Structure 1
Amino acid sequence: MESLANLESFIRSAELGGFSAAAGRLALTPAAVSRNVAMLERNLGVRLFQRSTRNLTLTEAGELFLSAVSDHVEALQTAIAEVSSEGGEPSGVLKVSMSPNFGAQHILPLLPDFLARYPRIRPEWMFENRQVDLIAEGYDAAIGGGFELTPGIVARTLGPAHVIAVASPDYVRDRTQPFDPAGLAAFDGISMRSLNSGRLRQWIMRNAEGEEMPAALTGTVVLNDPAAIARAACLGLGIAMLAVPDALPYLENGELIRLLPDWYADVGPISLYYASRTLLPAKTRVFIDFVTEHFRRERLAERFAGSLGASNMPKGR
């Protein structure tokens, strides 16, 4: 009977298009993956891949074999994972990447309860404003938005990333509030400079009727960090465009209020990213379940939805 290591090396190499990519997924060296595939070919008596210096492509026999075995290997991996989780407590270093402000506000507070439930897991959480390469950099998971879904990575949606207009109560107290996004041009604006492009972020807002309009936010103050923008808005420096999760603590304590309650910008989902393999380490699987259950229980997807207007926003004190 063929070994699981040989079969998995073949399947991952076919899925990811190379031995090096498969090695990163399987925590092996490229040479070990190549050797496993060569052994499989020798045992079967057929060539599964056409190899060149740049490309690795399946032969006709390789395509037939992949179709025949991939589902069975996945089922076997699932069975192994279920049995192993029964016999041992989740443990090991859990390396996760998340944005600093969102992570500190909404994920870090989960850590005491998570560690109380899984004391053998050692968290190594990186708070960083960048898209990491989960496989190449050895991350178990990442939380954020806009990640490129490279082969082998899946995204589990946690909630929407909706951006809304906010300001401090003192700033708007003696001013007539804007009627639509075009009206923001009459106010001081706290703009965000993108770390990736170096340009000022531009927002297209929409309402429930499907109308769209650019947010005419001026660059009176320019910052590059959502936490700093939120604090600047609290200090009365002007109107800011903030993702609801970043604004929520200040909306709850009354330091900020929402303007244009019928308008928001949709910048995609907030997702939990991880490798798509069925045989996830127990530490990763319980982390995914813990976070998604927290979001469901606390109805965070609904609370993060700027599309619901002012009805789901907390009232200021």
Structure 2
Amino acid sequence: METLSNLESFVRSAESASFSAAARRLGLTPAAVSRNVAQLERNLGVRLFQRSTRGLTLTEAGQRFLHAVSGGLDSIQDAIAEVTAKAGQPAGVLKLSAAHRFGTDFLLPMMPAFVERYPAVLPDWYFDNRQVDLIRDGFDAAVGGGFDLPPGVVARELARLHIVAVATPHFMRGRKPPERPADLIDHEGVVMRSVSSGRIARRVLRNRGGETQACEQRAVIAVNDPDALVQSVLMHMGIGLMAMPHVLHHLESGELVRILPGWYDEPGAISLYFTSQKLMPAKTRAFVDFVTEQFRQQNLAQRFLSD
């Protein structure tokens, strides 16, 4: 009979294609995970992985074995996790990731209440505009949009993400407001350059009636950071197309005003990402439930919409 540690090492290594990533997830060393898998291969008499400098690839036998055992392993771990979660309170370091501005504006203010409710949990925040690999980088959870969902990672949608046109009242003073997205070409624009491709982001705006129209901006400055985009607009440099969470507080304070009200782009959702819904540490479950509760209480999903 195979040990649970051997089977778990195999399944998590298969999900992440890496002994190192599996080790971070299991709280073991990469050498220990590799030994467990090697012992399993010896006991079965088959090779489960092809190993190379680029990572792990399941053999045909490995694919069949993964399909056969992964469901049963999750059931066993689910039972263990349930007993363990009920035995004690959430505790430990909680490694978390979010984009800088969104995290500091909306998530960080939630933390005093979270820490008060769960004093044995230490939130360890990494505020960065890049998307992280939860399994490879050892994160318990992340909040953002557009993350890949490899095996073992799930997402819970928090809100839809709307992109809107904004400017300062000072910039718009004496100017004729654009009536349609195509009219943005007649005004100075602050534009965003994609971090991954290096190209200027192109937007197609829509309205509630379902009409769509591409918009072209006459750039006076281009940046590759959303915080810099907001700051440039606040300095009266032009009209910018920005995500509602980045400008919500400025709109509510009157520092910025909506341009083209009723028009927006919807590139996706803001979601909570975490690993293995069936085997979730109590600290992660507490965080997921708490943030979901806060989004509901603060009505953030509705406030992030364009109207």
TM-score, normalised on structure 2?
0.88
CA distance in 2, matches of 1:111, 1:178: 41
Pairwise mapping of residues 1-12 of structure 1 onto structure 2 (< 5 A)?
1-12=1-12
Aligned equivalent of 2:250: 250
Aligned equivalent of 1:47: 46
Aligned equivalent of 1:186: 186
The worse-fitting range, judged by mean Cα deviation, of 208-217 and 257-266 is 208-217
Work out whether residues 48 and 59 of structure 1, in 8 Å CA contact, stay in contact via their aligned partners in 2. Answer: no
Q: Which residue identity is paired with 2:282?
A: A
SS of equivalent to 2:163 = strand
CA distance in 1, matches of 2:35, 2:231: 56
Aligned equivalent of 2:29: 29
Work out whether residues 15 and 150 of structure 2, in 8 Å CA contact, stay in contact via their aligned partners in 1. Answer: no
Pairwise mapping of residues 111-190 of structure 1 onto structure 2 (< 5 A)?
111-190=111-190
Aligned equivalent of 1:295: 295
Work out whether residues 20 and 136 of structure 2, in 8 Å CA contact, stay in contact via their aligned partners in 1. Answer: no
Aligned equivalent of 1:108: 108
Distance of aligned partners of 1:183 and 1:120 in 2 relative to their CA distance in 1, 3 Å threshold: same
- Residues 129-156 of structure 1: CA distance to partner in whole angstroms, max 9, x if unpaired? 1122222222222221222333432222
CA distance in 2, matches of 1:115, 1:88: 16
Distance of aligned partners of 1:237 and 1:17 in 2 relative to their CA distance in 1, 3 Å threshold: closer
Distance of aligned partners of 1:18 and 1:97 in 2 relative to their CA distance in 1, 3 Å threshold: closer
CA distance in 2, matches of 1:95, 1:89: 17
Q: CA deviation at 1:222?
A: 2.9
Aligned equivalent of 1:315: none
CA distance in 2, matches of 1:165, 1:267: 14
Listed as ranges, the gaps of 5+ residues in structure 1 are 307-311, 313-317
CA distance in 1, matches of 2:16, 2:133: 14
Calculate percent identity across the aligned residue pairs.
50
- Residues 278-302 of structure 1: CA distance to partner in whole angstroms, max 9, x if unpaired? 2222222211111112112323222
Q: CA deviation at 1:42?
A: 4.9
The worse-fitting range, judged by mean Cα deviation, of 187-196 and 121-130 is 187-196
Aligned equivalent of 2:203: 203
Q: CA deviation at 1:187?
A: 1.3
The worse-fitting range, judged by mean Cα deviation, of 174-183 and 6-15 is 6-15
Q: Which residue identity is paired with 2:13?
A: S
SS of equivalent to 1:76 = helix
SS of equivalent to 2:191 = strand
CA distance in 2, matches of 1:52, 1:2: 22
The worse-fitting range, judged by mean Cα deviation, of 115-124 and 266-275 is 266-275
Q: CA deviation at 1:48?
A: 6.1
Q: CA deviation at 1:19?
A: 3.9
Aligned equivalent of 1:57: 58
Q: CA deviation at 1:65?
A: 4.5
Work out whether residues 16 and 135 of structure 2, in 8 Å CA contact, stay in contact via their aligned partners in 1. Answer: no
Listed as ranges, the gaps of 5+ residues in structure 2 are none
Work out whether residues 94 and 121 of structure 2, in 8 Å CA contact, stay in contact via their aligned partners in 1. Answer: yes
Structure richer in strand, relative to its length = 2
Q: CA deviation at 1:114?
A: 0.4
Whether 2:79 is the aligned partner of 1:79: answer yes
Distance of aligned partners of 1:300 and 1:4 in 2 relative to their CA distance in 1, 3 Å threshold: same
The worse-fitting range, judged by mean Cα deviation, of 66-75 and 16-25 is 16-25
- Residues 234-273 of structure 1: CA distance to partner in whole angstroms, max 9, x if unpaired? 3433211110111110111111111212211122211222
Work out whether residues 167 and 233 of structure 2, in 8 Å CA contact, stay in contact via their aligned partners in 1. Answer: yes
> How many residues are treated as equivalent by the alignment?
305
Work out whether residues 185 and 218 of structure 2, in 8 Å CA contact, stay in contact via their aligned partners in 1. Answer: yes
Work out whether residues 177 and 259 of structure 2, in 8 Å CA contact, stay in contact via their aligned partners in 1. Answer: yes
- Residues 150-208 of structure 1: CA distance to partner in whole angstroms, max 9, x if unpaired? 34322222212211001122332432211111111111212223333333322221223
Q: CA deviation at 1:57?
A: 2.7
Work out whether residues 47 and 59 of structure 1, in 8 Å CA contact, stay in contact via their aligned partners in 2. Answer: no
The worse-fitting range, judged by mean Cα deviation, of 150-159 and 162-171 is 150-159
CA distance in 2, matches of 1:28, 1:129: 29
Distance of aligned partners of 1:75 and 1:220 in 2 relative to their CA distance in 1, 3 Å threshold: same
Q: CA deviation at 1:17?
A: 4.1
SS of equivalent to 2:273 = strand
CA distance in 1, matches of 2:153, 2:88: 26
